[in-house]
Chains A and B, each alone.
Chain A
């Protein structure tokens, strides 16, 4: 196997009312804000101008917003073929909050109005779909559910996708929402063989990943 060096050429993490871009605080909210309130401020602060944002459920909003900030000025579509841009996201609670919200619309026969706008978000991979739609990414995407964040699994799996030529660049990480608890980390992972040029970054290993998480 040829030796491929994979690098993290960007990262964004959102948790505890903070947006951390490449390891530095890029935006900070009031700790009293609810998560949806906070994400709305983030959306406005980073001037995302994508009204569909408001239709998304909190999990999708978190994944979408994290990707949006991560991918600013990255011009991936210019550097890579759309079909070579992959997404790998891990999450613990799947879409549990929106599942519960949807269940409320159908639980009672006398008040049975299943909402399509809620149902559509009752799959965690919809957030990957929304990122793909926004950025015209047409590559492989997979959502894994996992008890805990695992830097090793992310490293191994993304490296395998590169090795198998399933993707040449990958947006990878963790996006989790459960009631008031939330945390995201998405990294842009490129490698020195496929990329003509890449921003200088950290070597893609468990140390670096854990540091960002």
Chain B
């Protein structure tokens, strides 16, 4: 799980162009949206693409996104649970 979390941090920084952010600055349990990283609705859509492209997981209902993308940890948990299904 921790390995996946670290990998995800790198991927998030890359696909969302968070140039000034270092992986260690992202708290795995802190909310991704709202305060902090300053992510917005386009970033949320881009994270959906990331799950599909890198992990083969398709989110059918975008409303599920809120829970899945709450934090890096919740993303990692979702991936672990759904990968290969």
Contact = CB atoms under 8 A, between A and B. Distances in A.
A and B in direct contact, judged by CB atoms within 8 A: yes
Interface of A: 40, 51-52, 54-55, 113-117, 120
25 contacts: A40-B19, A51-B18, A51-B19, A51-B20, A51-B38, A54-B17, A54-B18, A54-B19, A54-B20, A55-B16, A55-B17, A55-B42, A113-B52, A113-B53, A114-B49, A115-B46, A115-B49, A116-B46, A116-B49, A117-B16, A117-B17, A117-B42, A117-B43, A117-B46, A120-B42
Nearest to B50: A113
A176 B45 CA distance: 28
Nearest to B54: A113
Interface residues of B, number: 14
Contacts of B52: 113
B16 A52 contact: no
Interface of B: 15-20, 38, 42-43, 45-46, 49, 52-53
A52 B52 CA distance: 24
A116 B53 contact: no
A114 B53 CA distance: 10
The 9 lowest CB-CB distance pairs between A and B, nearest first, are A116-B45, A54-B19, A54-B17, A117-B46, A113-B53, A55-B17, A113-B49, A116-B42, A117-B42
A56 to B, nearest CB: 9
A114 B18 CA distance: 20
Contacts of A113: 49, 52-53
Contacts of A40: 19
Contacts of B15: 117
Nearest to A120: B42
A52 B45 CA distance: 16
B32 to A, nearest CB: 15
Nearest to A52: B38
